Structure 1
Amino acid sequence: MKILLADDDKVTRIRLTAYLHGWGHEVLAAADGLEAWERFRKEPCWLVVSDWQMPGMNGVELVQRIRADAKPGNYVYVILLTSRSEKSDLVEGMEAGADDFVSKPFDKEELRVRIRAGERVIQLERALAEGYQQLAAVNNRMRESLEAAARIQRAFLPKTGQVFPGVQAAWRYLPCDELAGDTLNILCLDDEHLCFYVADVCGHGVAASLLSMTLSRLMSKGAGTEGVLIRHRPDGDAPEPVGPAEVARHLNERFPWNPEAMEYFTLFYGLLNVRTRQLRYVCAGHPRPVLVPATAPAERLLSDPPAVGLLPGAEFVEHTMRLAPGDRLYAFTDGLVEALSPVEEEFGEERLVAAAATRRSRDLPDSIHALVGDVDAWRGRGEPADDQCIIGLEIT
């Protein structure tokens, strides 16, 4: 090991150099603290043995400069040689950054074992630094993978600025982690129909996000593409939208209950005829959407069990209603209504209904922004414990 030796006494310097060479070390010798500092800057060492009292720059000042110049992963072990024995002197040296002391006149064997102790500390520091670098590299790769997955997940969200016939749409998507178990979208299925949905996969993290992305991909097929949302008629005419209850049944078959994974999701799925303004929907174990009519009090729509993926062969209840111009509908995940205040009280559905009603005079995007702001204010300084997603439609 390369050792920097600093001592203004020539005889002591020669003796120490001989000892260190004999123990297999390379020695950089300096006659005072200033010379030692210059040599250290040019040839950094892992271990420094320095006299305390030297002209120009003493050992304590040398230690302070070495510590001030320290770089992560390059710990320098410093031993001070001193004839001082007062406790205050030792405290001064330790506070400056010295690791050990050897009293003058020093014993050769004592110095040898203290050098060996310093080597063990340095080896441990190197191992820790290497382990940290490896861990940092792994974390960087994981972060890059999570960021890539998050980009894929966001790609299934509604396109910014997208225009839909007969309605205005707005939404917020706020994952509590890098990846979300919530998803939402709005799609044109044909000239007369659009669909919109909000889903909340049970759990958090990668497992929930994988199911969420699979669901989003499955339901992302739009106009004219046969799949979960569109089917061809037996007579061969143009494709037609699949009804909400049938969509839920298909998804329940597609994502059957697995007791090992224990994955399922709640779902609101709405199918709107933009010409007649008829809305058909299922709300499978999902928080009840909020309807804010143009000329009536706000109300909650119906929700029915079970969630999707819980019960094989489950039947899902479909509801039908007719909307009017100016009516607004908000569908959201439970991260909004279950947000906790500092005293552990939920925001709740009633507060969300009231907040939506009081924001009726604002335009739709601003009202959604305000609703999320109300939930944030309710939570206070606490971080969200769950994803928060909301989509709003207004009949134009």
Structure 2
Amino acid sequence: MNNSDKYEELVALFDKQLEFAQNLQRKIIPAPGSFVSDDYHFYSYLRPFRKVGGDFFDFHFMDNGRINLIIADATGHGIDAAMITSMFKLSYSYTMKDEHINQFPSLVLKQIETDICQLMDNTFFTGIALIFDPDDSTLCFANAGHPAGILLRENHQVELLKPNLPMMGLCQFMPSMNYFDKRIRFSRGDKLFLFTDGLVDAQNPDEEEFSIERVIDVVTKYARLPINRIGEKIVDACMTFKQALTLSDDICILGIEFEE
């Protein structure tokens, strides 16, 4: 076998592995339309930097109309990052079966962190876990080093869901760290946007970053639109901003609106 044949064989093998990773990631990411709620409208956008990536989101329907939602971003790109997201999916699915944990977003993140770190050393990722409760108009969240979520109030005021925990993967260095949640009001007409850093770090030809400030500008400018239309406006603004430059990271955007 000559060098050309060996190269073609390696390319074919890589393509086969990539196809397997793509098929796996399609199955672990919720399909459009799978989020059905009497109280909330949902928007999602996921665009890997390569054919597969390290951005992940999922949700779980709890009792009394409550919804558990999570978004995460693993370091790295490609097949390695996609493997981590598959582990994230598995851990999240099992964690949702434990009622002693799934009532507390911080404990959900802690359990996922523990599960993954037991299998893979030096694996780091950010994430936000949340519980939406329509009966008392609240959301409870824990943010582990993830970009702040943008909460758009019904009166068009903006609040940020800033990190209250360090990024996941640091538990091996911080064994005594306390995990805690934040509970805030989330009323009818309010909208929440969550995203990975691929959105705010996207650069234009002048090496300027899209930034959370520009996301906030889009959200407030189109505040009267439904959640899916605002999500589309965010994507359009980011793609216009970066011009012809290719993405350098995965982008995931989630939006959830408490129906008026």
TM-score (norm 2): 0.90
Q: What displacement does 1:340 show?
A: 0.9
Matched position secondary structure for 2:135: coil
Q: What displacement does 1:149 show?
A: 1.1
Q: What displacement does 1:232 show?
A: 4.6
Whether 1:195 aligns to 2:68 is yes
Which moves more between the two structures, 359-368 or 337-346? 359-368
Whether 1:294 aligns to 2:157 is no
User: CA separation of 1:271/1:141 partners in 2, compared to 1, >3 Å: closer, same or farther?
Assistant: same
Q: What displacement does 1:261 show?
A: 4.7
Matched position secondary structure for 2:83: helix
Percent identity, aligned pairs only, is 23
Counterparts of residues 1-396 of structure 1 (less than 5 Å): 131-162=3-34, 163-219=36-92, 221=93, 227-232=94-99, 241-256=102-117, 261-312=121-172, 313=175, 314-396=177-259
Alignment root-mean-square deviation, CA: 2.1
What is the rounded CA distance, in whole Å, between the counterparts of 2:218 and 2:179 in structure 1? 30
Runs of 4+ in 1 over 6 A off after TM superposition: none
What is the rounded CA distance, in whole Å, between the counterparts of 1:296 and 1:365 in structure 2? 17
Per chain length, whose mean CA-contact separation is higher, i.e. which structure has more relative contact order (CA < 8 Å, sep 6+)? 2
Q: What displacement does 1:257 show?
A: 8.0
What is the rounded CA distance, in whole Å, between the counterparts of 2:153 and 2:159 in structure 1? 8
Q: Which has the larger radius of gyration?
A: 1
Structure 1 residues 98-139: Cα deviation after superposition (integer angstroms, max 9, x where no partner): xxxxxxxxxxxxxxxxxxxxxxxxxxxxx8xx5334422331
What is the rounded CA distance, in whole Å, between the counterparts of 1:229 and 1:339 in structure 2? 33
What is the rounded CA distance, in whole Å, between the counterparts of 1:338 and 1:257 in structure 2? 30
User: CA separation of 1:322/1:301 partners in 2, compared to 1, >3 Å: closer, same or farther?
Assistant: same
Q: What displacement does 1:318 show?
A: 1.1
Matched position secondary structure for 2:63: coil
TM-score (norm 1): 0.61
Instruction: Verify the 8 A CA contact 1:165 1:274 in the aligned structure 2.
Output: no
Instruction: Name the amino acid aligned to 1:279.
Output: L
Matched position secondary structure for 1:256: helix
Instruction: Verify the 8 A CA contact 1:257 1:311 in the aligned structure 2.
Output: no
Q: What displacement does 1:244 show?
A: 0.6
